[in-house]
């Protein structure tokens, strides 16, 4: 009899899991259950009638490594190649990233010459940090915070300014709480394998992956730093949905899982708003905390680990202005927490992706991101914060950081609650315990998504692919 696999959560991880299941030669009956009225999770775009695109979630996807190449292959297979908007290596959005420190923008150094000179806000040439890295002792702990690691190897100033900002620009998180081992596994490995982390990273970058295609070769030749999609990132879940429907996958929106029970024959009875269904296997692509609340009492040890994986909220404000009003050209700027803990950074979308500007007169599109690990202390309870409050804060930042004083011609405010999981100290042990429990207890359950082994869109898609591959290897 054909087995039934239920996928919980229709974000990019759940859709990718269905995609890989449907592609398998022995595809099971696949049912996707999404709690909300739309698919895509945090991939959310607004497309206006005049042709402008505003991203409320991810916009820039990196093409590098196995995870980046795997996503490019998926785009090719879905027929989305003509939608790709690459940012080539020589583009200003690839070369220029800024920090806002001491009330001024500072371009981060790029290239060797930038490392030899003293560049504000740093007090000495960054080459000194490289030399320090060669002499630093190897860490002895199984994990340490990102800040501790970088302060030990590259110095406190780099940790306080550059790494603090980087963690805000990727995890919206606090580098004094985030785990080096889980957030930057390549740095962790580099320290274990080589004397110098910088050398380890350079050598790891040259490692070969088995993925190859014309698109991958093009991305390499043109040195894409990242890519986006012309009609907005939301076109990816839309294309996946169309593909999955064509493959006979049953997709149910507005169908949140309420409860999970184990049956006597090691299957799941899944309680839904209007009844229940039985699955031979469940792929969970919902946040870890959500899964922890669905599990039966018998799986308490698993639920305990899952519920410790917290996520932070981010206020996302998209603004559009008439004319080209930016004082600098680049990807955007980040703000270290000591400068302003609430304001994480501003993306200059119209620089990286000018094809998404509206038709007609030139314009500037910006995205202001706020809150993250500092949301509650700096802005308040995410359930009570008003859109006006976020818009006011974003407009003030645009004025003081970029000198843009006029009123925006368009503003869209979103509050994404618990949108970026935080891999805090000891996350590696929690995930190890989770995967060990699933294996030892032979639970018919796989967990995928941003809660576990990488928050980027690439990581989510790759985690889904790995889970499906493992599923077909397991003795049933
Ligand atoms: C503002 C922002 C900017 C970002 N920028 C980038 C970027 O530039 N590049 C990049 O690579 N990544 C970026 N990311 C990260 C990336 O977008 C996310 O990590 C990724 O989209 C998470 O996908 P997911 O499917 O794992 O989870 P989600 O998108 O959270 O999907 C989970 C799904 O499960 C559903 N669900 C929840 N509970 C239930 C239930 N009980 N039953 C059924 N369904 C349920 C939800 O409705 C949701 O659709 C960004 C994220 C944010 C928030
Ligand atoms: C200011 C907040 C945020 C900005 N983007 C994100 C947040 C929380 C989320 C995010 N950004 C990136 C990723 C994927 C990481 C990956 O492994 O591919 C995620 C989840 C990409 C990214 N954005 C910036 C950096 C340095 C990176 C890492 C990869 C890379 O080097 O490209 C910089 C950056 N992000 C934001 C701004 C304003 C900014 C400025 C320079 C917004």
- The domain ranges of the chain are 4-42+234-309+424-473, 45-62+311-421, 92-205
Per the CB < 8 A criterion, the answer to whether 315 and 420 are in contact is: no
Name the token pair of 105.
């923008």
Q: Which atom of ligand 2 is nearest to the CA of 347?
A: 38
Q: Which atom of ligand 1 is nearest to the CA of 13?
A: 25
* Mutation choice for ligand 2 from 169, 182, 368, 423, CB with most ligand atoms inside 8 A: 169
Contacts of residue 52, defined as CB under 8 A and 6 or more positions apart, other chains included, come to 320, 356, 357, 358, 363, 365, 410
Proximal ligand: closest to the CA of 58: 1
3-state secondary structure of 162: helix
Helix (H) or strand (E) holding 458: helix 457-473
Query: How far out from the chain centre does Cα 215 lie?
Result: 22
Q: How far is the CA of 445 from the centre of ligand 2 (A)?
A: 31
Q: How far is the CA of 131 from the centre of ligand 1 (A)?
A: 39
CB atoms within 10 A of CB 380: 13
Name the token pair of 377.
């202390």
Proximal ligand: closest to the CA of 64: 2
3-state secondary structure of 293: helix
Which pLDDT score, from 0 to 100, does residue 113 have? 65
Per the CB < 8 A criterion, the answer to whether 179 and 171 are in contact is: no
Q: How far is the CA of 419 from the centre of ligand 1 (A)?
A: 6
* DSSP string across 45-99: EEE-TTS-EEESS---B---HHHHHHHHHHHHHTT-GGGEEEE-TTSHHHH-EEE
CATH architecture of the domain formed by 45-62+311-421:
Alpha-Beta Complex (3.90)
Overall fold of domain 4-42+234-309+424-473: FAD/NAD(P)-binding domain (3.50.50)
Pocket of ligand 1 contains residue 455 by CB under 6 Å: yes
Q: How far apart are CA 400 and CA 383, in angstroms?
A: 28
Pocket of ligand 1 contains residue 15 by CB under 6 Å: no
Pocket of ligand 1 contains residue 415 by CB under 6 Å: no
Which pLDDT score, from 0 to 100, does residue 476 have? 46
CATH architecture of the domain formed by 92-205:
Orthogonal Bundle (1.10)
Q: Which atom of ligand 1 is nearest to the CA of 463?
A: 26
Q: How far is the CA of 169 from the centre of ligand 2 (A)?
A: 4
Name the token pair of 417.
């609650």
Q: How far is the CA of 50 from the centre of ligand 2 (A)?
A: 28
Residue 90: CA count within 13 A, CB half-sphere: 2
Going from the C-alpha of 396 to that of each of 296, 337, 404, 406, the distances in angstroms are: 48, 17, 9, 11
Q: How far apart are CA 85 and CA 353, in angstroms?
A: 7
Q: Whose CA is nearest to atom 9 of ligand 1?
A: 58
Per the CB < 8 A criterion, the answer to whether 424 and 171 are in contact is: no
* Mutation choice for ligand 1 from 33, 58, 449, CB with most ligand atoms inside 8 A: 58
Q: How far is the CA of 416 from the centre of ligand 1 (A)?
A: 10
Q: How far is the CA of 254 from the centre of ligand 2 (A)?
A: 31
CA-based nearest residue to 268, from 76, 7, 2: 7
Query: How far out from the chain centre does Cα 51 lie?
Result: 26
Pocket of ligand 1 contains residue 371 by CB under 6 Å: no
Domains 4-42+234-309+424-473 and 45-62+311-421 share a fold: no
Q: Whose CA is nearest to atom 20 of ligand 1?
A: 457
Proximal ligand: closest to the CA of 11: 1
pLDDT of the chain, 476 residues: tens digit per residue: 789 999 999 999 999 999 999 998 888 999 999 999 999 999 999 999 999 999 999 999 999 999 999 999 999 999 999 999 999 999 999 999 999 999 999 999 876 666 667 778 887 777 777 777 777 788 888 999 999 999 999 899 999 999 999 999 999 999 999 999 999 999 998 888 877 777 777 777 666 778 899 999 999 999 999 999 999 999 999 999 999 999 999 999 999 999 999 999 999 999 999 899 999 999 999 999 999 999 999 999 999 999 999 999 999 999 999 999 999 999 999 999 999 999 999 999 999 999 998 888 899 999 999 999 999 999 999 999 999 999 999 999 999 999 999 999 999 999 999 999 999 999 999 999 999 999 999 999 999 999 999 999 999 999 999 999 999 885 54
Q: Whose CA is nearest to atom 17 of ligand 2?
A: 456
DSSP letter (8 states) at residue 407: P
CB atoms within 10 A of CB 464: 26
Q: Which long-range contacts (CB under 8 A, 24 or more apart) does 267-272 make?
A: 267/444, 268/6, 268/444, 268/445, 270/6, 270/33, 272/33
Q: Whose CA is nearest to atom 27 of ligand 2?
A: 170
φ/ψ of 311, rounded to 5, equals: -140, 150
> Any residues with Cβ below 6 Å from ligand 2, and which?
60, 62, 97, 166, 168-170, 172, 226, 331-334, 344-347, 369, 420, 455-456
Which pLDDT score, from 0 to 100, does residue 210 have? 83
Contacts of residue 337, defined as CB under 8 A and 6 or more positions apart, other chains included, come to 164, 168, 174, 374
Pocket of ligand 1 contains residue 444 by CB under 6 Å: no
> What's the helix, strand, coil split of the chain in %, to 5?
40, 20, 40
Proximal ligand: closest to the CA of 13: 1
Per the CB < 8 A criterion, the answer to whether 165 and 336 are in contact is: yes
Per the CB < 8 A criterion, the answer to whether 221 and 52 are in contact is: no
Which pLDDT score, from 0 to 100, does residue 82 have? 97
Q: How far apart are CA 353 and CA 231, in angstroms?
A: 11
Surface-to-core class of residue 434, CB atoms within 10 Å of its CB (0-12 exposed, 13-18 middle, 19+ buried): buried
Q: How far is the CA of 305 from the centre of ligand 2 (A)?
A: 27
């Amino acid at each position: 009899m054909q087995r039934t696999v239920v996928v919980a959560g229709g974000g990019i991880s759940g859709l990718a899991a269905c995609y890989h299941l449907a592609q398998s030669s022995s595809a099971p009956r696949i049912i996707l259950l999404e709690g909300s009225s739309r698919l895509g999770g945090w991939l959310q775009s607004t497309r206006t009638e005049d042709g402008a695109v505003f991203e409320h979630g991810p916009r820039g996807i990196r093409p590098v490594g196995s995870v980046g190449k795997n996503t490019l292959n998926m785009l090719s297979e879905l027929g989305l190649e003509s939608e790709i908007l690459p940012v080539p290596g020589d583009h200003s959005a690839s070369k220029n990233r800024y920090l806002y420190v001491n009330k001024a923008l500072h371009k981060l150094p790029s290239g060797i010459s930038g490392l030899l000179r003293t560049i504000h806000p740093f007090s000495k040439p960054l080459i000194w940090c490289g030399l320090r890295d060669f002499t630093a002792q190897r860490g002895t702990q199984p994990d340490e915070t990102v800040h501790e690691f970088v302060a030990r190897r590259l110095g406190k100033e780099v940790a306080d300014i550059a790494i603090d900002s980087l963690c805000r620009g990727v995890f919206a998180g606090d580098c004094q709480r985030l785990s080096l081992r889980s957030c930057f596994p390549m740095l962790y490995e580099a320290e274990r394998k080589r004397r110098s982390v910088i050398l380890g990273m350079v050598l790891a970058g040259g490692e070969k992956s088995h993925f190859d295609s014309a698109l991958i070769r093009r991305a390499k030749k043109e040195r894409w730093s990242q890519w986006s999609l012309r009609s907005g990132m939301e076109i990816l879940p839309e294309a996946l949905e169309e593909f999955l429907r064509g493959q006979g996958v049953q997709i149910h929106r507005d169908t949140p899982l309420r409860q999970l029970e184990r049956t006597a024959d090691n299957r799941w009875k899944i309680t839904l708003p209007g009844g229940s269904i039985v699955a031979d296997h469940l792929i969970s692509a919902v946040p870890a905390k959500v899964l922890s609340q669905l599990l039966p009492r018998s799986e308490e040890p698993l639920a305990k680990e899952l519920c410790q994986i917290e996520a932070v909220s981010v206020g996302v404000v998209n603004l559009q202005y008439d004319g080209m009003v930016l004082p600098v050209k680049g990807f955007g700027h980040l703000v270290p927490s000591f400068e302003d803990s609430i304001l994480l950074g501003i993306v200059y979308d119209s620089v990286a992706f000018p094809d998404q500007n509206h038709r007609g007169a030139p314009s500037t599109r910006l995205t202001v991101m706020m809150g993250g690990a500092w949301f509650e202390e700096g802005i308040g309870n995410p359930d009570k914060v008003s859109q006006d409050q976020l818009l006011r804060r974003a407009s003030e930042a645009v004025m003081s950081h970029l000198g843009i004083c006029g009123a925006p011609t368009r503003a869209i405010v979103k509050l994404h609650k618990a949108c970026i999981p935080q891999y805090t100290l000891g996350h590696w042990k929690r995930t190890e315990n989770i995967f060990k429990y699933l294996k030892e207890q032979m639970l018919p359950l796989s967990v995928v998504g941003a809660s576990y082994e990488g928050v980027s869109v690439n990581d989510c898609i790759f985690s889904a692919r790995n889970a499906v591959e493992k599923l077909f290897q397991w003795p049933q």
